[in-house]
Every structure is written in C-alpha cells, then in structure tokens.
Amino acid sequence: MRSGLSGKYWRGGLTLLFAAGIFAFWKFGYPQALSYQEQNQLFLFSGDYFWKDVRVAGGLSAWLSEFLVQFYYVEWLGALILALLFACLQRLTWVYIKRLTTRWRALWFIVSFIPALLLLGVMGDHNVLLAFPVAVVLAVAIAVLMRRASLWWDLLIIPICFWLVGSTMWIYVALRLFDKGLRHCYLRLWLAPYLLGVQLLAAYTVLSLWSPVTVIRGNGYYRIPYPYTDYTFGFNKDVYELLRQDYLVRNERWDEIIRRAEKYQPKTPFSSVCVNLALAKKHQLAERMFDFYQSGRDALVMPIFRDNMSDMPTSEVFWHLGMINSCLRYSFDLQEAILNAKRSSRLTKRLTQCYIINGKYEVAQKHLALLKKTLFYRRWALETERIMQSEAAINAHPVYGRKRQLRFKTEMLYNYNEIDKMFGLLFVNDPSNTLALDYFMAQMLLRGDVDGFINHLPWAQQYGGYQQMPRGYRDALQCIQAGGNLPGSSYAKYIKFMSETGRVRKPE
C-alpha cells in the first residue's frame, strides 16, 4: 500500500514537471507561435459563430480550440492551456499503458510521455491548428469513458463522436480494438470498416463540399486545406525566427528585434523588412542599415503576396509611415488569404483603425460590431466607438490624429516600382515625417540610385535630425566615390552581391 502511494506521488510529480516544461517551452521559447495562432482567427461569442463550426464534422473540437486560442492573447494563459492539454494526453495514455502489465511500471510510465512528445513535434508545423490536439485528447477521453461499455454501443457512439471530433475517431477505434478486439477477433471485421463507412457517407451527403480524402484525413485540423497541405515535423529555425520577428513588430519591441538580428537573421525579404523597420523606429536606419542582411529592393517593403503572412511586416511599415491606404490594402489581402476562411483579430483591428483615419465610419462600425463580441478586443472596441462620436476627439487622438497628419492629402495611384518616389512625396507632404525621409534615402541606396541619393543628401542633413552625417551614408558616399570598390565597406559588399545577381547597377 505504501509502495503504491509512493509510486502515485512520483508519477504525479513527473507529470507536473512535464507540464511545467511544456509551459516554459511555449511561454519563453515560442511565444510567437501563440501570437500567430491568435491573430489568424477572431472568436466571437455568438450563436451564429457556434453553429457555423459545429454543423460540420469535427466542429466541436474546432469550436473548443478556437475558444481556447483566443486566450493566447495573454501569453501565459496560452502556455498554461497547452501545458494542461499535453499533461491530459500523457495521463490518458498512462491509463491504457498501465493495463499491459503490473511489472516495470516505472518504465511504462516513461513510455506514456511519447505520444505527447510526438504531438509537440507535430505542432511544430505552424499551420497545425489547436483543433488537432484537442480532437486527439477528446478521442482518447471518450475511449476511456467507454472502456467498460459493450462494443455494440459503438454503433451509436462512432457516428456521434465522429461528428463532434472528426477523423481522430480512428484513435478511438484503435483503443477500442486494444480493449476488446484482442479477445474478440471477429470485432476487427466491422469496427474499423464501420467508421470508414460513416466518414464516406458524411463526405458524399452532408459534407458534399469536401472530398472523401479530406474528411478521412481530417477537416479543420490544418490551416491549409487538402490537397495543398505540406506537413512538416518539428520546429524550423528560420520559420520560427520570422514568426518571432513579426510577433515583436506587432508588439513594437524594436530593441529586441535588433538584438536578435545581431546574433542571427534569416536571409529573406520578410526579415529585412522587420529589421529595417526596427532600425528606423529607433532612428538607426541611416547608421546601421547595411550592417544587417538586405534582400534588395524589397528590403524595405515587399510587393503583395497571396498568403496570410508574407505581407504582415510591410503592412506595419505602411502603418508607421502614414501610408494608410496601402496599409488598408495589404491588411485586407492578408485577411482574405487565410485559407480556412477565418477572420483575423489583429487585422480586423487594423482595418478598423484605417477606416477611422480615412473617415469611413460606417465601415469601421461594422468591424467594431464584430470586435465587441470578443473577449480581449471588446474593451478597445467600446473605447474606439466612443471616440468615433466626435471628429474633434479623433483629430486630437495621439494615433488617429497623427496618422491623418502624415497621410497623403490627395488621391494617388500606388506603384511598387516607384516606391521611393512615394516615400519622397510622403516626406514632402509633411517634413516632420523623418521616418519617410529615412525610407526614401534607404530605398535609393537599395536600388543603386547614386544620383538620387547624392542629390537628396541635403534633405537628410537639414531635416534628418543628425548632428553629423550618419555612418551608413558616409560609407555609401565613399563607396560611390570609389566606384563601388571600397574594402571593408558594408555598402560595397551589398552592391557587389546585388550587381553579381543583376539586381542593381554597380556605381560608376
């Protein structure tokens, strides 16, 4: 008896230690993953939102996961939810494993952690939705509850629970076969085919919008629908560093972006845009731009890509510059590119802000009506709704008023190939917009526009707020004077690489 209690305590202690490790893993190691998941959905407390999810197979697990993901807005809550979920899977696994034998209990208990660790690897793919681990835990939990029930109950349980949790019911079938099928071999002849038949029937009738393969593999577990899925296992360093940079941009943690880039920076335009924005916000772009990786002409802003992530930092650049219409267009395209047809909490808020600045109050009100049905954005929506009642309050607001001052005053067409001219016009529109001036000068350096850079250096000297010419400008000027051949020059290295790949012309 005493030995049994002792074993119970140390096993409980290991589970708690495991949960603590999972909490630390997400909270301190990968908070960007929590932010990414939260910003790609907009959970609404409404009956319509609930029925839209549960009316399809796996809908309950999808709704539950979206309910939980909204708490990722507070990082420690998101990490705690995941820690509890992984701990539940480990304990449920132990319920089955301990029935194998009464010997070597300590070893078998260690084995019970393997499914949870495998699930952690699966969730390394940032497009795996929380609906998958939730559905796995629910399937195992249902099997635990049904352990003593007759297999004939499965005629009813399988179709009902398939509708609630989706294709992870295959896990339920496997566990039921483990419980009963080993002693009753004939049960293998109908249990698995019965579930397959239920899935195919659902695919061909109620779920006619999806193919049978989609239903069998799982609908709602992955952000990108089949057959375009490309699953990965584990945590890709570059992918998660890019997610981290976007997460830091979202929270305006500019110093941390720069510190991390000093140690490691992915060689992508996405990363260049994030780092350059951080440098510009800290008024270091002119000094240190070419100390970091620059992808080329797209290192300050990127052309539009049709996915839910690539344009995020560019949209933020436009927001901080005061190019509100460009920010609006990029944000709208980002939201429409979420392939599981969900709205984005982060983008819905940004779209609302853009509409308010542009005076489109009726459209803004429609977005606010959605945000008022959320948990973590409701307070902001109510406060914003109050401000919208007064034009004077909007103009006096530190964000909306300032952005109205910075934005273009006349209609103009957006032309990515002449983005440097747009930066210049933005600065001419308001000379206090030194961020636009920094971007204007930097874009000319990126494209190798020697004459434009030299001709506009007086702008930087007069309006840039520098006591002396920034180091980056001095380096670029010396490189230009040396015809591009200046040993030790950061700008010379950039020009050499770009000219070798045909992306810029070498200074002459």
Distance of alpha carbon 447 from alpha carbon 496, whole angstroms? 12
pLDDT score recorded for residue 504: 63
Distance of alpha carbon 45 from alpha carbon 31, whole angstroms? 25
Neighbours of 378 (CB within 10 A): 14
pLDDT tens across 451-502, in order? 999 999 999 888 888 888 999 999 999 998 888 788 888 999 998 888 877 6
pLDDT score recorded for residue 99: 73
The torsion of the CA quartet 24, 131, 181, 91, rounded to 10 degrees, works out to 20
Output the DSSP codes for 461-492: HHHS--SS--HHHHHHHHHHHTTT--TT-HHH
pLDDT score recorded for residue 185: 54
User: Tokens representing 271?
Assistant: 């990363």
**Residue 128 carries which DSSP code?**
B
C-alpha distances (whole Å) from 79 to each of 19, 33, 83, 121, 136 are 10, 10, 6, 16, 18
| Tens digit of pLDDT at every position of the chain (508 positions) | 445 556 677 888 999 999 999 999 999 999 999 999 999 999 999 999 998 888 777 788 999 999 999 999 999 999 999 999 999 999 999 988 887 666 777 888 899 999 999 999 999 999 999 999 999 999 999 988 887 777 677 777 778 888 888 888 888 877 877 776 555 555 556 666 766 666 656 655 555 455 565 665 666 888 887 655 677 888 999 999 999 999 999 999 999 999 999 999 999 999 999 999 999 999 999 999 999 999 999 999 999 988 899 999 999 999 999 999 999 999 999 999 998 889 999 999 999 999 999 999 999 999 999 999 999 999 999 999 999 999 999 999 999 999 999 998 777 778 888 999 999 999 999 999 999 999 999 999 999 888 999 999 999 888 888 888 999 999 999 998 888 788 888 999 998 888 877 666 555 5
pLDDT score recorded for residue 173: 79
pLDDT score recorded for residue 1: 44
**What is the value of pTM for the model shown?**
0.90
Nearest to 490 by CA among 463, 470, 508, 466: 470
* Residue appearing with tokens 């909306």: 400
Residue 499: φ, ψ to 5°: -70, -35
Distance of alpha carbon 281 from alpha carbon 249, whole angstroms? 11
Residue 455 CA, chain-centre distance (Å), reads: 41
pLDDT tens across 92-141, in order? 999 888 876 667 778 888 999 999 999 999 999 999 999 999 999 999 99
Count Cα atoms within 13 angstroms, Cβ side, for 230. 1
DSSP alpha helix (H) spans, 25-58: 31-39, 47-54
pLDDT score recorded for residue 278: 98
Q: Which residues pair with 128 in a beta bridge?
A: 222
Neighbours of 500 (CB within 10 A): 10
Beta carbons of 136 and 171 less than 8 angstroms apart:
yes
Distance of alpha carbon 479 from alpha carbon 484, whole angstroms? 5
pLDDT score recorded for residue 411: 73
Provide CB contacts within 8 A for 165, sequence distance 6+: 58, 60, 61, 135, 138, 139, 142
Residue 411: φ, ψ to 5°: -70, 140
pLDDT score recorded for residue 371: 97
pLDDT score recorded for residue 156: 79
Distance of alpha carbon 508 from alpha carbon 495, whole angstroms? 12
pLDDT score recorded for residue 194: 67
Beta carbons of 90 and 116 less than 8 angstroms apart:
yes
Nearest to 161 by CA among 182, 181, 176, 183: 176
Q: Residue 437 in 3-state DSSP? A: helix
